[in-house]
Chains A and B, each alone.
Chain A
Amino acid sequence: MSKPAILPPHTTHTEPKIGGRGPKPPASVGLGGDDWRNNPPGRRGPRERLKRFRVALSLVLISVFVLFIGLTSAYVVRQGGGTLDTNTGVFTRDWKPVAVPQILWLNTLLLLLSSFTIEFARRQVFREPQVTEEWFGLGTPTRRASLPWLGSTLILGFGFLAGQFVAWRELNAQGIFMATNPSSSFFFILTGAHALHLFGGIIVLTWAAMASFLNRPLESRQIATDCGAWYWHAMGVLWLYIFALFLFVK
């Protein structure tokens, strides 16, 4: 039997600084290592999937916001744009601000209201007594409690989209189209991109509403409602940002 030579202590590789501070202390002293956080992924308790989806949602929201920051910074830059007449040396700016259709105020109100309704729906799917009842198979109390709020959010959401459509038609009736002026181009592109993103939220919420009839697990419904709700709030904030841009930066 050959035993490797005993090495002087300074050649050991267990220096504490190399690659980390060493093992974490147990997170739950006294529970016998029964802490879910120490379990392998996939077995970290009932909220693991929800938390994972929330992380993903916040990342999605970051990228959506960056998209709109890109578009709106182009908006700000483009405002100063114009044509330099090389003969006379006169620089004429060509930005003529769009008169914001009045219906946008109504749309904003609808979207703000819908943020409240979706928040009620979101809270309903997490109420512990109802969740427990449903978990035991005693009826569908979370569905009964959340569905009206989900439904009203969807109605308000479609109301907002319809209102945006009316706003576009109004501008068209005034002879303002995509190519009329850079401000109108940005108006249509920003409202259009926002409407498209809001429609994504509508799809998620529709799925959340349908899932309760399709016998999807309660957890999936919770995730869809929760992430859909946060997304919806974010789309509301995004709309306020865009609307404020139309109102104040023109």
Chain B
Amino acid sequence: MASPRNPLHAADHSSATNAQAGYPSVFSFSTHHRVIGRQYFFLSLAAVLIGIVLSLLMRLHIVWPQAPLPFLGQIKPEQYLAYMTMHGTLMVFFVLSVAPQNAFGNLVLPEQIGARVMAFPRLNMLSFWTTLISFFVMVSALFVTGGGSMSGWTQYPPLSATISAGAGQGLGTDLWIVSIAIFCVASLMSAVNFITTILRGRAEGMSLMRMPLTVWSWFVTAMLTLLAFSVLLAAALLLFSDRHWGTSFYLPAGLVVNGAAMAGHSGGSPLLWQHLFWFFGHPEVYIAILPGMGVTSHMLSTFSRKPVYGYRSMVYSLLAIGVLGFMVWGHHMFVAGISPYAVMAFSTLTMVIAVPSSVKVINWLGTLRGGRIRFTIPLLFSVGFVSLFITGGLSGPILAQPAVDMYLHDTYFVVAHFHMIMGMAAVFAIFAATYFWFPLLFPDRIMNEQLGRAHFWFTFIGAYATFMPMHFLGLAGNPRQYSQIVGSAEYLQKLLPIHVFITISAFVLASAQLIFIYNLIYSALRGKFSGTNPWESTTLEWEQDRRQRIRVHHGPYEFGPREDSRRDYTVQSEPPYTYKS
């Protein structure tokens, strides 16, 4: 009997339409990976909307600090800092770590490797609901007395370890730490589940080198998650202990906070936090971007109707980026006062990462070259990803030079760098994935093409218009994390027109997302029907008959003309065929 609550039976229908109609709603405690994928998707959608609003408030405050805003009044500097913290945290943790990995991973990963379910469906459900609790704890920090934490998403001590340092440093920061600890546990559970599924759940014939690159990227990302989030948990535990149990891990002696000397602490090192945090933090940026790389490879191959150029080098470069990602954390600390020898090592290793990254870029371009490209919306966003990855990536080696970084580190140049490569590029991959897998996200519907095109062009131009000028602000010496430019030093006053331009384009960029939201709702309700395998893709998530035993006979990206059919693609599970000639 088909019971929708049992994931083993939920897909026992002859067509995807019926199977999906039988899925439990996203508001239920379901163990089905597609439902959980949707739940993660909506969670990160909620997080990204809050994050966008916060960023707009920040942009408004920078150019117009006296502005009386509805409901909020005039934004105070400490509020600005709280918004900055919450914007960073929500975007990094609840959008960039959740959407590419957990939302789309759950949505299609088991099907792509020919498994029917995740390895541990109930653990999967637990991961989602734990993440949701963590999200509520995080957002609640905005509404408690004192407001959100002011110490940024990196929570550098002594500021973050000192309760008396400001309004948001009390309950707001506690909630931040608790929320992140919960998030760590949820991510670890999810990573265990992903790796086990990929290692043990693959169908017959699905060798590791036949996995789609999306699966490879989720695999590497899950391994990074497993190693990185444990360290963050350790660091957060010590931070909490410094705040409440009177220890001195991060707090040095002789601190003067708000004019009062702080007693009871000595010998701690704020650098210790930075080491632990960035040992997590740098892999974290790869956790955000690697799934995007996988998705981009997948899209570029599918829509240029060509196999991925250099499949193996794509896999090895993914692994290389994953390994190197753990060796470069010190490049976030060039100005923190670490040993110059360590700086040299970190700087060299950082520049080494450019090699596998370039391998990927060249392979993407090689995949596009000579293809019969279908300019669909997912392809546009994937090309946008490549473009932003190059633009944002090129400022990476610049910042990897210690001497240059001394000047640029605390300026808008860094803001431009990580928003281009980690923010916008990853978001473009999320958009590509949303447009591509929409028929699986909302049963058998497809997103509107015209609206999609408008969304793409406004977002693409908006992204460049918003973040490109920040490079020039940084080169001109505009410090980041300052709440106010107006009424400050004269050289900053001169930069105000650029800030005004950025704010305007940020609003354009944000409004473009309204097109996306409208398209999402409209297409979910009245979108065109997709039919089976709307993109003529080769991977197994579009495979319809779930009752049959899946045997994989082909590589993941076998595009190209066939003799026996008019099709130009071969689904991985198709039986092998031989040429008659």
Taking beta carbons and an 8 Å cutoff, which residues of A are in contact with B?
4, 6-7, 9, 11-14, 17-21, 23-24, 37-42, 48, 51-52, 55-56, 59-60, 62-64, 66-71, 74, 77-78, 81-83, 93-95, 178-179, 182, 185, 189, 193
Contacts and interface: CB of A to CB of B under 8 A. Distances in A.
Given A63-B230, A77-B275, A40 B549 contact: yes
A116 to B, nearest CB: 28
B306 to A, nearest CB: 9
B234 A67 contact: yes
Interface string B310-335: 01100000000000000000000000
A19 B311 contact: yes
Interface stretch (B26-34, B86-94, B248-256, B374-382): B248-256
B558 A18 contact: yes
Contact of B246 (A17, A38, A178): A178
A199 B188 CA distance: 19
Contacts of B555: 18-20
- The list of the 9 closest CB pairs from A to B, nearest first, reads A19-B555, A179-B246, A70-B234, A13-B560, A66-B230, A94-B267, A20-B210, A185-B247, A70-B231
Contacts of B554: 19
A20 B563 contact: no
A2 to B, nearest CB: 8
A23 B553 contact: yes
A6 B563 contact: yes
A41 B563 CA distance: 33
B254 A189 contact: no
A70 B230 contact: yes
Nearest to B225: A63
Contacts of A41: 115-117, 200-203
Interface residues of B, number: 74
Contact of B266 (A23, A37, A51, A94): A94
Given A19-B554, A56-B119, A56-B192, A185 B241 contact: yes
19 contacts: A9-B579, A11-B560, A19-B209, A40-B203, A40-B550, A41-B115, A55-B195, A59-B226, A63-B188, A63-B192, A66-B230, A67-B231, A70-B276, A74-B238, A77-B272, A81-B267, A179-B248, A185-B241, A185-B249
Nearest to A189: B241
Nearest to B232: A70
B397 interface: no
B135 interface: no
Given A18-B307, A23-B576, A77-B275, A12 B557 contact: no
Contacts of B247: 178-179, 182, 185, 189
Nearest to B208: A20
B352 interface: no
A178 to B, nearest CB: 5
A193 B237 contact: yes
Interface in B192-218: 192-193, 195-196, 199-205, 207, 209-210
Interface in B546-568: 549-550, 553-563, 565-566
A12 B191 contact: no
Given A13-B558, A20-B209, A77-B269, A83 B8 contact: no
A37 B201 CA distance: 11
B226 A93 contact: no
Interface core residue of A9, A51, A182 (most chain B CB under 10 Å): A182
A93 B576 CA distance: 71
A101 B366 CA distance: 65
Given A39-B204, A60-B192, A67-B233, A55 B241 contact: no
Nearest to B247: A185
Given A6-B581, A193-B237, A59 B266 contact: no
